[in-house]
Structure 1
Amino acid sequence: MISPWAVLAGGVAAAGLALLVSELRPSPPDLGQALDRLHRSPADRRAEQEGQRLSWYDRVGDSALRLPGARIPHQQLALVGRTPARFMAHKLLFALIGLLLPGYLLAIAAFSGFQLPFVLPIVVAPALALLGWLVPDAIVSAEAKEARTEYLHGIAAFLELVALERAADLGPAEALRRAAAVGRGTVFRRIRDSLERAATDRLPPWDGLDALAAELGLAPLQDVADIMRLSGTDGAAVYDTLRARARGLRGELLSADLAQANVDSERMVAPGTLLTLLMTVLIVFPALYKMMGSA
Protein backbone atom coordinates (compact mmCIF):
# COMPACT_ATOMS: atom_id res chain seq x y z
CA MET A 1 0.00 0.00 0.00
CA ILE A 2 1.33 3.43 -0.96
CA SER A 3 1.91 5.75 1.96
CA PRO A 4 -0.26 8.89 1.92
CA TRP A 5 2.82 10.88 2.90
CA ALA A 6 4.56 9.69 -0.27
CA VAL A 7 1.54 10.76 -2.33
CA LEU A 8 1.53 14.17 -0.61
CA ALA A 9 5.26 14.59 -1.19
CA GLY A 10 4.85 13.70 -4.85
CA GLY A 11 2.04 16.21 -5.23
CA VAL A 12 4.12 18.95 -3.63
CA ALA A 13 7.06 18.11 -5.92
CA ALA A 14 4.81 18.20 -9.01
CA ALA A 15 3.31 21.54 -7.94
CA GLY A 16 6.77 23.00 -7.39
CA LEU A 17 7.93 21.78 -10.79
CA ALA A 18 4.82 23.24 -12.47
CA LEU A 19 5.41 26.58 -10.71
CA LEU A 20 9.05 26.60 -11.79
CA VAL A 21 8.14 25.90 -15.44
CA SER A 22 5.44 28.59 -15.41
CA GLU A 23 7.86 31.18 -14.03
CA LEU A 24 10.57 30.33 -16.57
CA ARG A 25 8.21 30.73 -19.53
CA PRO A 26 8.66 34.02 -21.43
CA SER A 27 6.06 36.52 -20.32
CA PRO A 28 4.02 38.50 -22.89
CA PRO A 29 5.25 42.05 -23.54
CA ASP A 30 3.85 44.73 -21.26
CA LEU A 31 2.01 47.46 -23.19
CA GLY A 32 2.76 50.07 -20.56
CA GLN A 33 6.50 49.46 -20.75
CA ALA A 34 6.40 49.60 -24.56
CA LEU A 35 4.60 52.96 -24.49
CA ASP A 36 6.98 54.22 -21.81
CA ARG A 37 9.92 53.48 -24.11
CA LEU A 38 8.34 55.68 -26.77
CA HIS A 39 7.22 58.50 -24.46
CA ARG A 40 9.81 59.09 -21.80
CA SER A 41 8.75 60.50 -18.45
CA PRO A 42 10.93 61.87 -15.65
CA ALA A 43 13.11 59.28 -13.97
CA ASP A 44 11.52 59.47 -10.53
CA ARG A 45 7.98 59.20 -11.90
CA ARG A 46 8.89 56.31 -14.19
CA ALA A 47 10.59 54.45 -11.33
CA GLU A 48 7.46 54.88 -9.22
CA GLN A 49 5.23 53.56 -12.01
CA GLU A 50 7.49 50.58 -12.65
CA GLY A 51 7.49 49.81 -8.93
CA GLN A 52 3.68 49.73 -8.98
CA ARG A 53 3.61 47.44 -12.02
CA LEU A 54 6.11 44.91 -10.66
CA SER A 55 4.71 41.62 -9.39
CA TRP A 56 5.74 40.29 -5.99
CA TYR A 57 8.14 37.95 -7.74
CA ASP A 58 9.89 40.82 -9.51
CA ARG A 59 9.82 42.97 -6.38
CA VAL A 60 11.78 40.29 -4.54
CA GLY A 61 14.31 40.24 -7.37
CA ASP A 62 14.47 44.03 -7.39
CA SER A 63 15.30 44.00 -3.67
CA ALA A 64 18.02 41.41 -4.33
CA LEU A 65 19.75 43.78 -6.78
CA ARG A 66 21.28 45.53 -3.78
CA LEU A 67 22.87 42.39 -2.38
CA PRO A 68 26.65 42.70 -1.97
CA GLY A 69 28.53 40.91 -4.73
CA ALA A 70 25.52 40.62 -7.05
CA ARG A 71 26.74 40.75 -10.65
CA ILE A 72 24.17 41.74 -13.26
CA PRO A 73 25.02 41.00 -16.93
CA HIS A 74 23.10 43.98 -18.30
CA GLN A 75 24.07 43.52 -21.95
CA GLN A 76 23.23 39.82 -21.94
CA LEU A 77 19.88 40.51 -20.27
CA ALA A 78 19.14 43.21 -22.85
CA LEU A 79 19.87 40.74 -25.64
CA VAL A 80 17.43 38.13 -24.28
CA GLY A 81 14.85 40.74 -23.22
CA ARG A 82 14.90 39.96 -19.49
CA THR A 83 14.90 42.47 -16.66
CA PRO A 84 17.57 42.46 -13.92
CA ALA A 85 14.82 42.02 -11.32
CA ARG A 86 13.55 38.85 -13.00
CA PHE A 87 17.13 37.59 -13.35
CA MET A 88 17.81 38.02 -9.62
CA ALA A 89 14.46 36.43 -8.79
CA HIS A 90 15.49 33.37 -10.80
CA LYS A 91 18.83 33.24 -8.97
CA LEU A 92 17.08 33.34 -5.58
CA LEU A 93 14.58 30.70 -6.67
CA PHE A 94 17.23 28.27 -7.90
CA ALA A 95 19.34 28.86 -4.78
CA LEU A 96 16.32 28.20 -2.55
CA ILE A 97 15.53 24.99 -4.44
CA GLY A 98 19.12 23.82 -4.01
CA LEU A 99 19.03 24.67 -0.31
CA LEU A 100 15.78 22.81 0.39
CA LEU A 101 16.24 19.84 -1.94
CA PRO A 102 18.47 17.70 0.37
CA GLY A 103 16.08 18.15 3.31
CA TYR A 104 13.15 17.27 1.08
CA LEU A 105 14.86 14.12 -0.17
CA LEU A 106 15.73 13.19 3.43
CA ALA A 107 12.08 13.54 4.43
CA ILE A 108 10.94 11.43 1.46
CA ALA A 109 13.47 8.75 2.36
CA ALA A 110 12.29 8.73 5.99
CA PHE A 111 8.65 8.37 4.96
CA SER A 112 9.62 5.55 2.58
CA GLY A 113 11.50 3.63 5.26
CA PHE A 114 15.06 4.42 4.16
CA GLN A 115 17.53 5.78 6.66
CA LEU A 116 19.84 8.52 5.40
CA PRO A 117 22.39 10.38 7.52
CA PHE A 118 20.98 13.59 8.95
CA VAL A 119 24.27 15.34 8.26
CA LEU A 120 23.62 15.03 4.52
CA PRO A 121 21.51 18.24 4.17
CA ILE A 122 24.04 20.22 6.19
CA VAL A 123 26.87 19.21 3.86
CA VAL A 124 25.09 19.10 0.51
CA ALA A 125 22.59 21.96 0.84
CA PRO A 126 25.12 24.87 0.71
CA ALA A 127 26.84 23.36 -2.34
CA LEU A 128 23.51 22.88 -4.15
CA ALA A 129 22.43 26.41 -3.19
CA LEU A 130 25.65 27.82 -4.65
CA LEU A 131 25.15 25.74 -7.79
CA GLY A 132 21.55 26.94 -8.09
CA TRP A 133 22.71 30.55 -7.66
CA LEU A 134 25.04 30.14 -10.66
CA VAL A 135 22.59 28.27 -12.92
CA PRO A 136 20.74 31.41 -14.17
CA ASP A 137 24.08 32.97 -15.17
CA ALA A 138 24.86 29.97 -17.38
CA ILE A 139 21.33 30.00 -18.85
CA VAL A 140 21.45 33.72 -19.64
CA SER A 141 24.94 33.39 -21.13
CA ALA A 142 23.84 30.59 -23.47
CA GLU A 143 20.64 32.42 -24.48
CA ALA A 144 22.57 35.66 -25.04
CA LYS A 145 25.03 33.87 -27.31
CA GLU A 146 22.19 32.62 -29.51
CA ALA A 147 20.45 36.00 -29.40
CA ARG A 148 23.68 37.78 -30.38
CA THR A 149 24.00 35.58 -33.46
CA GLU A 150 20.38 36.33 -34.37
CA TYR A 151 20.99 40.05 -33.93
CA LEU A 152 24.09 39.95 -36.12
CA HIS A 153 22.19 38.20 -38.92
CA GLY A 154 19.46 40.83 -38.62
CA ILE A 155 21.99 43.68 -38.69
CA ALA A 156 23.57 42.24 -41.85
CA ALA A 157 20.16 42.26 -43.52
CA PHE A 158 19.50 45.76 -42.17
CA LEU A 159 22.75 47.00 -43.73
CA GLU A 160 21.71 45.66 -47.12
CA LEU A 161 18.27 47.25 -46.86
CA VAL A 162 19.71 50.63 -45.85
CA ALA A 163 22.11 50.46 -48.80
CA LEU A 164 19.20 49.76 -51.17
CA GLU A 165 17.20 52.65 -49.74
CA ARG A 166 20.18 54.97 -50.17
CA ALA A 167 20.58 53.72 -53.74
CA ALA A 168 16.94 54.75 -54.27
CA ASP A 169 18.04 58.32 -53.42
CA LEU A 170 16.37 58.51 -50.02
CA GLY A 171 17.86 60.65 -47.26
CA PRO A 172 19.89 58.99 -44.48
CA ALA A 173 17.19 59.31 -41.81
CA GLU A 174 14.41 58.18 -44.12
CA ALA A 175 16.54 55.28 -45.39
CA LEU A 176 17.02 54.03 -41.82
CA ARG A 177 13.31 54.25 -41.04
CA ARG A 178 12.21 52.60 -44.30
CA ALA A 179 14.74 49.78 -43.87
CA ALA A 180 13.70 49.17 -40.25
CA ALA A 181 10.02 49.04 -41.25
CA VAL A 182 10.61 46.08 -43.59
CA GLY A 183 11.52 43.42 -41.03
CA ARG A 184 9.24 41.82 -38.46
CA GLY A 185 11.76 40.07 -36.21
CA THR A 186 13.09 41.04 -32.80
CA VAL A 187 16.12 42.79 -34.29
CA PHE A 188 14.08 45.08 -36.53
CA ARG A 189 11.59 45.74 -33.75
CA ARG A 190 14.36 46.93 -31.42
CA ILE A 191 15.84 49.09 -34.18
CA ARG A 192 12.42 50.63 -34.90
CA ASP A 193 11.95 51.36 -31.20
CA SER A 194 15.34 53.07 -31.00
CA LEU A 195 14.61 55.19 -34.09
CA GLU A 196 11.18 56.20 -32.78
CA ARG A 197 12.69 57.02 -29.40
CA ALA A 198 15.27 59.25 -31.06
CA ALA A 199 12.56 60.96 -33.12
CA THR A 200 10.49 61.56 -29.97
CA ASP A 201 13.51 63.13 -28.27
CA ARG A 202 14.23 65.18 -31.45
CA LEU A 203 17.58 63.52 -31.95
CA PRO A 204 19.14 62.20 -35.18
CA PRO A 205 18.28 58.54 -35.84
CA TRP A 206 21.92 57.46 -35.62
CA ASP A 207 21.97 58.66 -32.01
CA GLY A 208 19.20 56.15 -31.31
CA LEU A 209 21.29 53.43 -32.95
CA ASP A 210 24.23 54.53 -30.80
CA ALA A 211 22.19 54.06 -27.64
CA LEU A 212 20.90 50.65 -28.78
CA ALA A 213 24.41 49.49 -29.73
CA ALA A 214 25.72 50.52 -26.29
CA GLU A 215 22.80 48.77 -24.57
CA LEU A 216 23.27 45.50 -26.47
CA GLY A 217 27.04 45.63 -26.87
CA LEU A 218 26.90 45.15 -30.66
CA ALA A 219 29.77 46.78 -32.54
CA PRO A 220 28.24 46.20 -36.04
CA LEU A 221 25.21 48.27 -35.06
CA GLN A 222 27.56 51.01 -33.92
CA ASP A 223 29.19 50.82 -37.37
CA VAL A 224 25.79 51.40 -38.99
CA ALA A 225 25.29 54.49 -36.84
CA ASP A 226 28.75 55.84 -37.67
CA ILE A 227 28.32 55.27 -41.40
CA MET A 228 24.91 56.96 -41.51
CA ARG A 229 26.13 59.82 -39.33
CA LEU A 230 28.87 60.43 -41.89
CA SER A 231 26.29 60.40 -44.66
CA GLY A 232 23.90 62.69 -42.77
CA THR A 233 26.42 65.30 -41.69
CA ASP A 234 28.89 65.32 -44.60
CA GLY A 235 26.66 64.01 -47.40
CA ALA A 236 29.07 61.17 -48.15
CA ALA A 237 28.05 58.38 -50.55
CA VAL A 238 27.83 55.31 -48.32
CA TYR A 239 26.27 52.69 -50.61
CA ASP A 240 29.53 50.84 -51.21
CA THR A 241 30.54 51.21 -47.56
CA LEU A 242 27.27 49.69 -46.34
CA ARG A 243 27.49 46.79 -48.78
CA ALA A 244 31.12 46.14 -47.84
CA ARG A 245 30.28 46.13 -44.12
CA ALA A 246 27.38 43.74 -44.75
CA ARG A 247 29.66 41.38 -46.70
CA GLY A 248 32.26 41.53 -43.93
CA LEU A 249 29.65 40.77 -41.26
CA ARG A 250 28.26 37.84 -43.23
CA GLY A 251 31.83 36.53 -43.66
CA GLU A 252 32.38 36.73 -39.90
CA LEU A 253 29.15 34.85 -39.24
CA LEU A 254 30.04 32.20 -41.82
CA SER A 255 33.48 31.74 -40.26
CA ALA A 256 31.90 31.36 -36.82
CA ASP A 257 29.45 28.77 -38.17
CA LEU A 258 32.26 26.80 -39.81
CA ALA A 259 34.30 26.87 -36.59
CA GLN A 260 31.30 25.63 -34.60
CA ALA A 261 30.69 22.89 -37.17
CA ASN A 262 34.32 21.75 -36.83
CA VAL A 263 33.98 21.67 -33.04
CA ASP A 264 30.77 19.63 -33.29
CA SER A 265 32.46 17.23 -35.72
CA GLU A 266 35.36 16.73 -33.32
CA ARG A 267 32.95 16.04 -30.49
CA MET A 268 31.37 13.27 -32.56
CA VAL A 269 34.69 11.43 -32.94
CA ALA A 270 34.72 10.01 -29.40
CA PRO A 271 31.11 8.65 -29.44
CA GLY A 272 31.69 7.16 -32.90
CA THR A 273 34.92 5.49 -31.80
CA LEU A 274 33.27 4.11 -28.66
CA LEU A 275 30.34 2.75 -30.68
CA THR A 276 32.72 1.08 -33.16
CA LEU A 277 34.69 -0.49 -30.30
CA LEU A 278 31.50 -1.75 -28.68
CA MET A 279 30.29 -3.30 -31.93
CA THR A 280 33.68 -4.95 -32.42
CA VAL A 281 33.56 -6.46 -28.93
CA LEU A 282 30.01 -7.73 -29.45
CA ILE A 283 31.00 -9.39 -32.74
CA VAL A 284 34.33 -10.87 -31.61
CA PHE A 285 33.41 -11.96 -28.08
CA PRO A 286 31.12 -14.94 -29.04
CA ALA A 287 33.77 -16.35 -31.36
CA LEU A 288 36.53 -15.97 -28.79
CA TYR A 289 34.34 -17.47 -26.06
CA LYS A 290 33.54 -20.49 -28.22
CA MET A 291 37.20 -20.99 -29.16
CA MET A 292 38.34 -20.81 -25.54
CA GLY A 293 35.53 -23.15 -24.45
CA SER A 294 36.41 -25.78 -27.07
CA ALA A 295 40.09 -25.58 -26.14
Structure 2
Amino acid sequence: MISPWAVLAGAAAAGGVAVLVSELRPAAPDLSQALERLHRAPGGRGTDGAEEEPRWYDRVGAHSTTLPGVRIPHRQLALIGRTPARFMAHKLLFALLGLVLPAYVVAVAAFVDTELPVAVPFVVGPLLGAVLWFVPDGVVHGEAKEARTEYLHGIAAYLELVALERAADCGPAEALRRAAAVGRGTVFRRIRDALERAATDRLPPWEGLDALAVELGLTPLQDVADIMRISGTDGAAVYDTLRARAKGLRGELLAEDLARANADSERMVAPGSVLTLLMTVLIVFPALYQMLN
Protein backbone atom coordinates (compact mmCIF):
# COMPACT_ATOMS: atom_id res chain seq x y z
CA MET A 1 0.00 0.00 0.00
CA ILE A 2 1.29 3.42 -0.94
CA SER A 3 1.88 5.71 1.99
CA PRO A 4 -0.22 8.93 2.09
CA TRP A 5 2.96 10.84 2.87
CA ALA A 6 4.49 9.58 -0.37
CA VAL A 7 1.41 10.79 -2.28
CA LEU A 8 1.62 14.22 -0.65
CA ALA A 9 5.34 14.41 -1.33
CA GLY A 10 4.80 13.53 -5.00
CA ALA A 11 2.05 16.13 -5.31
CA ALA A 12 4.31 18.78 -3.74
CA ALA A 13 7.15 17.82 -6.10
CA ALA A 14 4.83 18.08 -9.13
CA GLY A 15 3.67 21.51 -7.93
CA GLY A 16 7.28 22.66 -7.57
CA VAL A 17 8.10 21.50 -11.09
CA ALA A 18 5.01 23.31 -12.42
CA VAL A 19 6.07 26.53 -10.68
CA LEU A 20 9.60 26.19 -12.08
CA VAL A 21 8.30 25.68 -15.62
CA SER A 22 5.95 28.66 -15.29
CA GLU A 23 8.84 30.88 -14.17
CA LEU A 24 11.01 29.77 -17.11
CA ARG A 25 8.31 30.50 -19.69
CA PRO A 26 8.21 34.05 -21.14
CA ALA A 27 5.77 36.25 -19.29
CA ALA A 28 2.50 37.09 -21.03
CA PRO A 29 1.86 40.77 -21.76
CA ASP A 30 -0.07 42.65 -19.12
CA LEU A 31 -3.24 43.58 -21.02
CA SER A 32 -4.67 45.54 -18.10
CA GLN A 33 -1.78 48.01 -18.18
CA ALA A 34 -2.06 48.35 -21.96
CA LEU A 35 -5.77 49.12 -21.74
CA GLU A 36 -5.13 51.55 -18.90
CA ARG A 37 -2.63 53.43 -21.09
CA LEU A 38 -5.16 53.58 -23.93
CA HIS A 39 -7.98 54.92 -21.74
CA ARG A 40 -5.91 56.96 -19.30
CA ALA A 41 -7.36 60.32 -18.38
CA PRO A 42 -5.16 63.31 -19.39
CA GLY A 43 -2.88 64.48 -16.61
CA GLY A 44 -3.46 61.51 -14.34
CA ARG A 45 -1.65 58.25 -13.70
CA GLY A 46 -4.59 56.24 -12.58
CA THR A 47 -7.79 56.42 -10.67
CA ASP A 48 -6.29 57.97 -7.56
CA GLY A 49 -3.01 59.31 -9.01
CA ALA A 50 -0.92 57.10 -6.71
CA GLU A 51 1.75 54.71 -7.91
CA GLU A 52 1.35 51.01 -7.39
CA GLU A 53 2.90 49.73 -4.19
CA PRO A 54 5.83 47.35 -4.91
CA ARG A 55 5.24 43.79 -3.83
CA TRP A 56 7.20 42.10 -1.07
CA TYR A 57 9.42 40.08 -3.38
CA ASP A 58 10.24 43.22 -5.36
CA ARG A 59 11.33 44.89 -2.14
CA VAL A 60 13.50 41.89 -1.27
CA GLY A 61 15.01 41.99 -4.75
CA ALA A 62 15.65 45.73 -4.49
CA HIS A 63 17.59 45.20 -1.25
CA SER A 64 19.66 42.42 -2.86
CA THR A 65 20.80 44.51 -5.86
CA THR A 66 23.69 45.82 -3.76
CA LEU A 67 25.11 42.37 -3.00
CA PRO A 68 28.84 42.12 -3.77
CA GLY A 69 29.70 40.40 -7.03
CA VAL A 70 26.20 40.72 -8.52
CA ARG A 71 26.11 41.85 -12.15
CA ILE A 72 22.78 43.25 -13.33
CA PRO A 73 22.24 43.49 -17.12
CA HIS A 74 20.55 46.88 -17.10
CA ARG A 75 20.30 47.25 -20.88
CA GLN A 76 18.82 43.79 -21.38
CA LEU A 77 16.32 44.41 -18.58
CA ALA A 78 15.40 47.77 -20.14
CA LEU A 79 14.76 46.03 -23.47
CA ILE A 80 12.30 43.55 -21.96
CA GLY A 81 10.78 46.07 -19.52
CA ARG A 82 11.81 44.28 -16.31
CA THR A 83 13.15 45.97 -13.21
CA PRO A 84 16.44 44.99 -11.54
CA ALA A 85 14.47 44.26 -8.36
CA ARG A 86 12.30 41.67 -10.12
CA PHE A 87 15.39 40.18 -11.77
CA MET A 88 17.12 39.75 -8.41
CA ALA A 89 13.93 38.31 -6.90
CA HIS A 90 13.96 35.62 -9.61
CA LYS A 91 17.63 34.84 -8.93
CA LEU A 92 17.02 34.49 -5.21
CA LEU A 93 13.99 32.27 -5.84
CA PHE A 94 15.92 29.90 -8.10
CA ALA A 95 18.89 29.77 -5.73
CA LEU A 96 16.58 28.99 -2.81
CA LEU A 97 14.92 26.27 -4.87
CA GLY A 98 18.30 24.71 -5.60
CA LEU A 99 19.22 24.74 -1.91
CA VAL A 100 15.93 23.22 -0.73
CA LEU A 101 15.38 20.63 -3.47
CA PRO A 102 18.05 18.09 -2.34
CA ALA A 103 16.78 18.19 1.24
CA TYR A 104 13.27 17.65 -0.06
CA VAL A 105 14.41 14.64 -2.11
CA VAL A 106 16.06 13.14 0.99
CA ALA A 107 12.84 13.66 2.99
CA VAL A 108 10.75 11.99 0.27
CA ALA A 109 13.18 9.07 0.16
CA ALA A 110 12.87 8.65 3.92
CA PHE A 111 9.06 8.50 3.63
CA VAL A 112 9.26 5.67 1.07
CA ASP A 113 11.80 3.75 3.20
CA THR A 114 14.74 4.53 0.93
CA GLU A 115 17.81 5.85 2.65
CA LEU A 116 20.02 8.48 1.01
CA PRO A 117 23.26 9.85 2.42
CA VAL A 118 22.70 12.64 4.90
CA ALA A 119 25.45 14.65 3.22
CA VAL A 120 23.43 14.98 -0.02
CA PRO A 121 21.68 18.27 0.95
CA PHE A 122 24.96 19.77 2.18
CA VAL A 123 26.91 18.86 -0.97
CA VAL A 124 24.35 18.88 -3.79
CA GLY A 125 22.28 21.78 -2.40
CA PRO A 126 24.93 24.53 -2.73
CA LEU A 127 26.01 23.23 -6.15
CA LEU A 128 22.44 23.13 -7.46
CA GLY A 129 21.71 26.54 -5.95
CA ALA A 130 24.78 28.00 -7.67
CA VAL A 131 23.69 26.54 -11.01
CA LEU A 132 20.10 27.76 -10.70
CA TRP A 133 21.37 31.20 -9.64
CA PHE A 134 22.41 31.81 -13.27
CA VAL A 135 19.19 30.51 -14.86
CA PRO A 136 17.47 33.97 -14.84
CA ASP A 137 20.52 35.42 -16.62
CA GLY A 138 20.04 32.99 -19.51
CA VAL A 139 16.30 33.67 -19.63
CA VAL A 140 16.83 37.44 -19.69
CA HIS A 141 19.50 37.08 -22.39
CA GLY A 142 17.16 35.10 -24.64
CA GLU A 143 14.22 37.45 -24.13
CA ALA A 144 16.43 40.52 -24.67
CA LYS A 145 17.72 39.07 -27.94
CA GLU A 146 14.16 38.68 -29.25
CA ALA A 147 13.19 42.13 -27.94
CA ARG A 148 16.20 43.71 -29.65
CA THR A 149 15.12 42.27 -33.00
CA GLU A 150 11.61 43.63 -32.43
CA TYR A 151 13.03 47.06 -31.57
CA LEU A 152 15.17 47.12 -34.72
CA HIS A 153 12.17 46.32 -36.91
CA GLY A 154 10.23 49.10 -35.19
CA ILE A 155 13.08 51.58 -35.64
CA ALA A 156 13.26 50.75 -39.36
CA ALA A 157 9.56 51.55 -39.68
CA TYR A 158 10.05 54.71 -37.59
CA LEU A 159 12.81 55.88 -39.94
CA GLU A 160 10.47 55.52 -42.91
CA LEU A 161 7.70 57.42 -41.14
CA VAL A 162 10.04 60.26 -40.16
CA ALA A 163 11.27 60.48 -43.75
CA LEU A 164 7.68 60.73 -45.01
CA GLU A 165 6.89 63.45 -42.47
CA ARG A 166 9.95 65.40 -43.57
CA ALA A 167 8.90 64.98 -47.20
CA ALA A 168 5.53 66.48 -46.20
CA ASP A 169 7.44 69.64 -45.14
CA CYS A 170 7.15 69.07 -41.37
CA GLY A 171 9.84 70.45 -39.10
CA PRO A 172 12.39 68.06 -37.54
CA ALA A 173 10.83 68.09 -34.08
CA GLU A 174 7.28 67.83 -35.43
CA ALA A 175 8.28 65.00 -37.79
CA LEU A 176 9.66 62.97 -34.88
CA ARG A 177 6.53 63.46 -32.77
CA ARG A 178 4.03 62.79 -35.56
CA ALA A 179 5.86 59.67 -36.72
CA ALA A 180 5.92 58.31 -33.16
CA ALA A 181 2.20 59.01 -32.74
CA VAL A 182 1.32 56.93 -35.82
CA GLY A 183 2.81 53.62 -34.72
CA ARG A 184 1.61 51.19 -32.06
CA GLY A 185 3.49 48.69 -29.97
CA THR A 186 6.24 48.73 -27.38
CA VAL A 187 8.85 50.37 -29.62
CA PHE A 188 6.72 53.38 -30.53
CA ARG A 189 5.45 53.70 -26.97
CA ARG A 190 9.01 53.94 -25.65
CA ILE A 191 9.87 56.50 -28.34
CA ARG A 192 6.81 58.58 -27.45
CA ASP A 193 7.73 58.46 -23.76
CA ALA A 194 11.28 59.59 -24.56
CA LEU A 195 10.00 62.49 -26.67
CA GLU A 196 7.56 63.52 -23.92
CA ARG A 197 10.34 63.48 -21.31
CA ALA A 198 12.49 65.66 -23.55
CA ALA A 199 9.61 68.09 -24.05
CA THR A 200 9.01 68.20 -20.28
CA ASP A 201 12.70 68.99 -19.67
CA ARG A 202 12.59 71.66 -22.44
CA LEU A 203 15.11 69.75 -24.55
CA PRO A 204 15.09 69.04 -28.30
CA PRO A 205 13.35 65.75 -29.14
CA TRP A 206 16.53 64.20 -30.54
CA GLU A 207 18.04 64.53 -27.07
CA GLY A 208 15.28 62.24 -25.77
CA LEU A 209 16.01 59.72 -28.53
CA ASP A 210 19.70 59.94 -27.69
CA ALA A 211 19.02 59.11 -24.03
CA LEU A 212 16.75 56.21 -24.99
CA ALA A 213 19.39 54.84 -27.38
CA VAL A 214 21.99 54.90 -24.59
CA GLU A 215 19.57 53.22 -22.17
CA LEU A 216 18.68 50.41 -24.57
CA GLY A 217 22.04 50.15 -26.35
CA LEU A 218 20.51 50.57 -29.83
CA THR A 219 22.84 52.19 -32.36
CA PRO A 220 20.16 52.70 -35.09
CA LEU A 221 18.11 54.84 -32.71
CA GLN A 222 21.25 56.87 -32.03
CA ASP A 223 21.56 57.33 -35.80
CA VAL A 224 18.01 58.72 -35.96
CA ALA A 225 18.86 61.23 -33.24
CA ASP A 226 22.07 62.29 -34.99
CA ILE A 227 20.38 62.70 -38.39
CA MET A 228 17.55 64.80 -36.98
CA ARG A 229 19.99 66.85 -34.90
CA ILE A 230 21.80 67.82 -38.10
CA SER A 231 18.48 68.65 -39.74
CA GLY A 232 17.35 70.73 -36.76
CA THR A 233 20.56 72.73 -36.32
CA ASP A 234 21.82 73.12 -39.90
CA GLY A 235 18.55 72.74 -41.81
CA ALA A 236 19.96 69.91 -43.94
CA ALA A 237 17.68 67.82 -46.18
CA VAL A 238 17.68 64.38 -44.59
CA TYR A 239 14.97 62.54 -46.56
CA ASP A 240 17.41 60.50 -48.61
CA THR A 241 19.60 59.89 -45.56
CA LEU A 242 16.68 58.55 -43.52
CA ARG A 243 15.51 56.28 -46.34
CA ALA A 244 19.03 54.97 -46.90
CA ARG A 245 19.49 54.23 -43.17
CA ALA A 246 16.14 52.43 -43.05
CA LYS A 247 17.09 50.37 -46.11
CA GLY A 248 20.45 49.48 -44.58
CA LEU A 249 18.81 48.47 -41.30
CA ARG A 250 16.32 46.22 -43.08
CA GLY A 251 19.21 44.66 -44.99
CA GLU A 252 21.03 43.92 -41.72
CA LEU A 253 17.90 42.32 -40.25
CA LEU A 254 17.39 40.23 -43.39
CA ALA A 255 21.01 39.05 -43.26
CA GLU A 256 20.57 38.04 -39.60
CA ASP A 257 17.40 36.12 -40.47
CA LEU A 258 19.17 34.30 -43.29
CA ALA A 259 22.12 33.43 -41.06
CA ARG A 260 19.74 32.12 -38.39
CA ALA A 261 17.85 30.05 -40.97
CA ASN A 262 21.11 28.56 -42.30
CA ALA A 263 22.21 27.70 -38.77
CA ASP A 264 18.88 25.98 -38.08
CA SER A 265 19.18 24.04 -41.34
CA GLU A 266 22.68 22.87 -40.38
CA ARG A 267 21.45 21.74 -36.98
CA MET A 268 18.75 19.67 -38.68
CA VAL A 269 21.39 17.66 -40.60
CA ALA A 270 22.43 15.60 -37.55
CA PRO A 271 18.89 14.41 -36.58
CA GLY A 272 18.18 13.58 -40.23
CA SER A 273 21.38 11.56 -40.51
CA VAL A 274 20.62 9.65 -37.30
CA LEU A 275 17.08 8.90 -38.51
CA THR A 276 18.42 7.64 -41.86
CA LEU A 277 20.95 5.43 -40.08
CA LEU A 278 18.26 3.94 -37.84
CA MET A 279 16.02 3.22 -40.80
CA THR A 280 18.93 1.53 -42.61
CA VAL A 281 19.70 -0.64 -39.59
CA LEU A 282 16.04 -1.66 -39.22
CA ILE A 283 15.87 -2.65 -42.90
CA VAL A 284 19.22 -4.45 -43.09
CA PHE A 285 19.24 -6.20 -39.70
CA PRO A 286 16.64 -8.95 -40.45
CA ALA A 287 18.36 -10.03 -43.66
CA LEU A 288 21.81 -9.89 -42.06
CA TYR A 289 20.59 -11.88 -39.05
CA GLN A 290 19.26 -14.68 -41.30
CA MET A 291 22.50 -14.74 -43.30
CA LEU A 292 24.60 -15.15 -40.16
CA ASN A 293 22.36 -17.88 -38.70
Same topology, TM > 0.5? yes
Residues 142-165 of structure 1, C-alpha deviations (whole Å, 9 max, x = no match): 110010001001000100111011
Alignment pair present for 1:182 and 2:169: no
Q: Which residue of 1 aligns with 2:195?
A: 195
Letter in 2 for 1:169: D
Task: Trace 1:124-163 onto structure 2 (pairs within 5 A).
Answer: 124-163=124-163
2: distance between equivalents of 1:213 and 1:187? 12
Alignment pair present for 1:263 and 2:263: yes
Q: Which residue of 2 aligns with 1:104?
A: 104
2: distance between equivalents of 1:154 and 1:6? 53
Q: Which has the higher helix share?
A: 1
Structure 1 length as normaliser, TM-score?
A: 0.89
Residues 213-270 of structure 1, C-alpha deviations (whole Å, 9 max, x = no match): 0110000000000001111111110000000000110111111111111111111111
Go from structure 1 to structure 2 and tell me whether the alpha carbon gap of 1:17 and 1:56 turns closer, same or farther (over 3 Å shift): farther
2: distance between equivalents of 1:243 and 1:133? 45
Q: Percent identity?
A: 75
SS at match of 2:182: coil
Q: Which residue of 2 aligns with 1:239?
A: 239
Go from structure 1 to structure 2 and tell me whether the alpha carbon gap of 1:243 and 1:65 turns closer, same or farther (over 3 Å shift): same
Identify the range of structure 1 (153-162 vs 107-116) with the bigger mean alpha-carbon deviation.
Answer: 107-116
Q: Which residue of 2 aligns with 1:43?
A: none
C-alpha root-mean-square deviation of aligned residues, in Å? Answer: 2.3
Residues 37-72 of structure 1, C-alpha deviations (whole Å, 9 max, x = no match): x99xxxxxxxxx97x821101001001101100100
Runs of 5+ unmatched residues, structure 1: 40-48
2: distance between equivalents of 1:14 and 1:160? 51
Task: Trace 1:1-295 onto structure 2 (pairs within 5 A).
Answer: 1-17=1-17, 25-26=27-28, 28=30, 29=33, 53-293=53-293
Residues 115-173 of structure 1, C-alpha deviations (whole Å, 9 max, x = no match): 22222222211111011110000100011001000100100010011101111111111
Go from structure 1 to structure 2 and tell me whether the alpha carbon gap of 1:145 and 1:220 turns closer, same or farther (over 3 Å shift): same
Q: Which residue of 2 aligns with 1:42?
A: none
Deviation at 1:177, TM superposition (A): 1.0
Equivalent pairs, count: 280
Go from structure 1 to structure 2 and tell me whether the alpha carbon gap of 1:135 and 1:175 turns closer, same or farther (over 3 Å shift): same
2: distance between equivalents of 1:267 and 1:105? 36
Deviation at 1:15, TM superposition (A): 4.5
Structure 2 length as normaliser, TM-score?
A: 0.89
Deviation at 1:11, TM superposition (A): 3.7
Letter in 2 for 1:229: R
2: distance between equivalents of 1:279 and 1:204? 67
